[in-house]
Amino acid sequence: MNGTSCVKCPYQCQTCTSPNGACITCVDTIRRDRTQNCRCLTGFFDSGALNCSACSPTCLTCTNASACTSCDATRFRNLTSGTLCSCIDGYYELFGADQSRTCVKCNPECLTCTSSPANCVRCDPREIEFQELDPMEFLLVFVNLDTTQQLMDLVFNPTVMLILSAQLVNKVSNSVFNVKLH
Protein backbone atom coordinates (compact mmCIF):
# COMPACT_ATOMS: atom_id res chain seq x y z
CA MET A 1 0.00 0.00 0.00
CA ASN A 2 1.32 3.44 -0.96
CA GLY A 3 -0.56 6.12 0.96
CA THR A 4 -4.14 5.26 0.05
CA SER A 5 -3.49 3.15 -3.08
CA CYS A 6 -2.23 -0.42 -3.37
CA VAL A 7 1.01 -1.08 -5.21
CA LYS A 8 2.03 -4.49 -6.51
CA CYS A 9 4.79 -6.37 -4.66
CA PRO A 10 7.78 -7.79 -6.54
CA TYR A 11 6.79 -10.97 -8.41
CA GLN A 12 8.48 -13.31 -5.93
CA CYS A 13 6.57 -11.86 -2.95
CA GLN A 14 3.06 -12.84 -1.90
CA THR A 15 3.03 -9.91 0.53
CA CYS A 16 5.62 -7.19 1.12
CA THR A 17 6.34 -4.07 3.14
CA SER A 18 6.58 -1.88 0.00
CA PRO A 19 7.12 -2.37 -3.76
CA ASN A 20 10.88 -2.13 -3.28
CA GLY A 21 10.90 -3.40 0.29
CA ALA A 22 11.22 -6.76 1.96
CA CYS A 23 8.96 -9.69 1.23
CA ILE A 24 6.83 -10.80 4.16
CA THR A 25 5.69 -14.02 2.47
CA CYS A 26 6.77 -15.71 -0.77
CA VAL A 27 4.60 -16.89 -3.67
CA ASP A 28 6.61 -20.13 -3.82
CA THR A 29 6.82 -21.26 -0.20
CA ILE A 30 8.69 -24.48 -1.06
CA ARG A 31 11.56 -23.21 -3.25
CA ARG A 32 11.94 -19.61 -2.06
CA ASP A 33 13.54 -18.46 1.20
CA ARG A 34 11.50 -15.80 3.01
CA THR A 35 14.49 -14.87 5.19
CA GLN A 36 16.45 -14.01 1.99
CA ASN A 37 13.72 -11.78 0.50
CA CYS A 38 12.23 -14.78 -1.34
CA ARG A 39 15.38 -15.70 -3.24
CA CYS A 40 15.46 -19.21 -4.68
CA LEU A 41 16.86 -21.93 -2.45
CA THR A 42 20.07 -23.79 -3.26
CA GLY A 43 19.46 -26.12 -6.20
CA PHE A 44 16.99 -23.74 -7.86
CA PHE A 45 17.26 -20.58 -9.98
CA ASP A 46 15.04 -17.57 -10.59
CA SER A 47 13.78 -17.58 -14.17
CA GLY A 48 11.50 -14.60 -13.57
CA ALA A 49 8.47 -16.84 -13.01
CA LEU A 50 6.55 -17.15 -9.75
CA ASN A 51 8.07 -20.56 -8.96
CA CYS A 52 11.81 -21.20 -8.91
CA SER A 53 13.11 -23.69 -11.50
CA ALA A 54 15.37 -26.63 -10.68
CA CYS A 55 19.06 -26.57 -11.52
CA SER A 56 20.66 -29.55 -13.22
CA PRO A 57 20.97 -32.37 -10.65
CA THR A 58 24.77 -32.05 -10.85
CA CYS A 59 24.72 -28.36 -9.78
CA LEU A 60 24.61 -26.97 -6.26
CA THR A 61 23.72 -23.48 -7.57
CA CYS A 62 23.05 -22.27 -11.11
CA THR A 63 21.96 -19.36 -13.29
CA ASN A 64 19.76 -21.57 -15.52
CA ALA A 65 18.88 -25.25 -15.95
CA SER A 66 22.27 -26.15 -17.43
CA ALA A 67 24.75 -23.46 -16.26
CA CYS A 68 26.16 -24.34 -12.83
CA THR A 69 27.78 -21.65 -10.70
CA SER A 70 28.88 -24.09 -7.96
CA CYS A 71 28.99 -27.83 -7.36
CA ASP A 72 28.33 -30.05 -4.37
CA ALA A 73 31.76 -31.21 -3.18
CA THR A 74 30.10 -33.80 -0.91
CA ARG A 75 28.95 -35.48 -4.13
CA PHE A 76 32.54 -35.50 -5.47
CA ARG A 77 31.96 -32.83 -8.12
CA ASN A 78 33.84 -29.70 -9.17
CA LEU A 79 33.19 -26.90 -11.64
CA THR A 80 34.79 -27.50 -15.05
CA SER A 81 34.50 -25.76 -18.39
CA GLY A 82 33.05 -22.77 -16.59
CA THR A 83 29.52 -24.09 -16.06
CA LEU A 84 29.62 -27.91 -15.72
CA CYS A 85 29.87 -29.95 -12.53
CA SER A 86 31.99 -32.99 -13.39
CA CYS A 87 33.19 -35.81 -11.18
CA ILE A 88 36.53 -35.10 -9.51
CA ASP A 89 39.61 -37.15 -10.39
CA GLY A 90 39.35 -40.64 -8.97
CA TYR A 91 35.60 -40.85 -9.71
CA TYR A 92 33.52 -41.57 -12.81
CA GLU A 93 29.93 -40.66 -13.63
CA LEU A 94 27.33 -43.40 -13.38
CA PHE A 95 24.00 -42.74 -15.11
CA GLY A 96 21.02 -44.33 -13.34
CA ALA A 97 17.88 -45.70 -14.97
CA ASP A 98 15.98 -42.91 -13.18
CA GLN A 99 18.11 -40.27 -14.98
CA SER A 100 20.23 -39.74 -11.85
CA ARG A 101 23.95 -39.03 -12.16
CA THR A 102 26.27 -40.24 -9.42
CA CYS A 103 30.05 -39.99 -9.04
CA VAL A 104 31.44 -43.43 -8.18
CA LYS A 105 34.98 -44.04 -6.86
CA CYS A 106 37.55 -45.57 -9.23
CA ASN A 107 39.74 -48.47 -8.14
CA PRO A 108 42.86 -47.37 -6.20
CA GLU A 109 45.21 -47.99 -9.15
CA CYS A 110 43.29 -45.43 -11.28
CA LEU A 111 43.85 -41.68 -11.09
CA THR A 112 40.86 -41.35 -13.45
CA CYS A 113 38.50 -43.94 -14.86
CA THR A 114 35.44 -44.15 -17.08
CA SER A 115 32.35 -46.38 -17.25
CA SER A 116 33.51 -48.70 -14.42
CA PRO A 117 35.82 -48.51 -11.37
CA ALA A 118 38.47 -50.68 -13.08
CA ASN A 119 38.45 -48.98 -16.51
CA CYS A 120 41.46 -46.71 -15.90
CA VAL A 121 42.10 -43.75 -18.16
CA ARG A 122 45.19 -42.72 -16.15
CA CYS A 123 46.94 -45.05 -13.72
CA ASP A 124 48.42 -44.10 -10.36
CA PRO A 125 52.09 -45.10 -10.67
CA ARG A 126 52.28 -45.69 -6.91
CA GLU A 127 49.68 -48.47 -7.19
CA ILE A 128 51.11 -50.37 -10.16
CA GLU A 129 52.89 -53.65 -9.60
CA PHE A 130 56.06 -52.81 -11.51
CA GLN A 131 57.54 -56.25 -10.96
CA GLU A 132 54.97 -57.56 -13.44
CA LEU A 133 55.74 -54.99 -16.17
CA ASP A 134 58.29 -55.55 -18.85
CA PRO A 135 60.47 -52.51 -19.66
CA MET A 136 58.30 -51.34 -22.56
CA GLU A 137 55.10 -51.49 -20.48
CA PHE A 138 56.91 -49.49 -17.82
CA LEU A 139 57.70 -46.82 -20.41
CA LEU A 140 54.03 -46.52 -21.34
CA VAL A 141 53.21 -45.74 -17.70
CA PHE A 142 56.19 -43.41 -17.45
CA VAL A 143 55.33 -41.35 -20.56
CA ASN A 144 51.67 -40.93 -19.51
CA LEU A 145 52.42 -39.21 -16.20
CA ASP A 146 50.66 -35.85 -15.87
CA THR A 147 52.76 -33.97 -13.36
CA THR A 148 56.33 -33.55 -12.29
CA GLN A 149 55.32 -34.76 -8.81
CA GLN A 150 54.05 -38.04 -10.28
CA LEU A 151 57.37 -38.43 -12.08
CA MET A 152 59.31 -37.81 -8.87
CA ASP A 153 57.09 -40.26 -6.94
CA LEU A 154 57.70 -42.87 -9.60
CA VAL A 155 61.43 -42.41 -10.11
CA PHE A 156 62.25 -42.31 -6.39
CA ASN A 157 60.04 -45.25 -5.47
CA PRO A 158 62.46 -47.88 -4.01
CA THR A 159 60.72 -50.75 -5.80
CA VAL A 160 60.91 -48.95 -9.12
CA MET A 161 64.57 -48.10 -8.60
CA LEU A 162 65.37 -51.80 -8.22
CA ILE A 163 63.47 -52.68 -11.37
CA LEU A 164 65.08 -50.04 -13.54
CA SER A 165 67.94 -52.08 -14.79
CA ALA A 166 70.72 -51.18 -17.18
CA GLN A 167 68.72 -53.03 -19.85
CA LEU A 168 65.80 -50.63 -19.44
CA VAL A 169 67.99 -47.54 -19.31
CA ASN A 170 69.69 -48.60 -22.55
CA LYS A 171 66.32 -49.04 -24.28
CA VAL A 172 65.10 -45.58 -23.31
CA SER A 173 66.16 -42.76 -25.58
CA ASN A 174 67.06 -39.39 -24.13
CA SER A 175 63.96 -37.88 -25.71
CA VAL A 176 61.69 -39.90 -23.38
CA PHE A 177 63.42 -38.46 -20.33
CA ASN A 178 62.98 -34.99 -21.76
CA VAL A 179 59.18 -35.31 -22.05
CA LYS A 180 57.63 -32.03 -20.93
CA LEU A 181 55.23 -32.68 -18.06
CA HIS A 182 52.52 -30.22 -17.06
Q: What is the pLDDT of residues 31-40, one digit of tens each?
A: 999 999 999 9
Q: Residue 105 — very low, low, confident or very high, per pLDDT cuts 50/70/90?
A: very high
65, 55 Cβ separation under 8 angstroms: yes
| pLDDT at residue 25 tops 90 | yes
- Sequence ranges of the domains in the chain: 1-42, 124-177
The rounded Cα 102 to chain-centroid distance in angstroms is 11
Gap between the Cα atoms of 91 and 120, Å rounded: 10
Residues whose CB is less than 8 angstroms from the CB of residue 70 and which lie 6 or more positions away in sequence, other chains included? 59, 60, 61, 79
| pLDDT at residue 140 tops 70 | no
Please report, as a single letter, which amino acid is at residue 142: F
For the chain, what percent of residues have pLDDT higher than 90?
36
Between these two residues, 108 and 128, which has the higher pLDDT value? 108
Gap between the Cα atoms of 86 and 106, Å rounded: 14
Three-class secondary structure assignment of 150-164:
HHHHHHCCHHHHHHC
Quote the DSSP letter at residue 172: S
Residue 180 is predicted with a pLDDT of: 40
Please report, as a single letter, which amino acid is at residue 176: V
Closest CA to 75 of 50, 48, 42: 42
52, 65 Cβ separation under 8 angstroms: no
Sign of the torsion angle spanned by Cα atoms 30, 32, 38, 42 = positive
| pLDDT at residue 174 tops 60 | no
Average of per-residue pLDDT values in the chain: 77
Please report, as a single letter, which amino acid is at residue 115: S
Residue 54 is predicted with a pLDDT of: 93
What pTM was computed for the model?
0.59
Residue 181 is predicted with a pLDDT of: 42
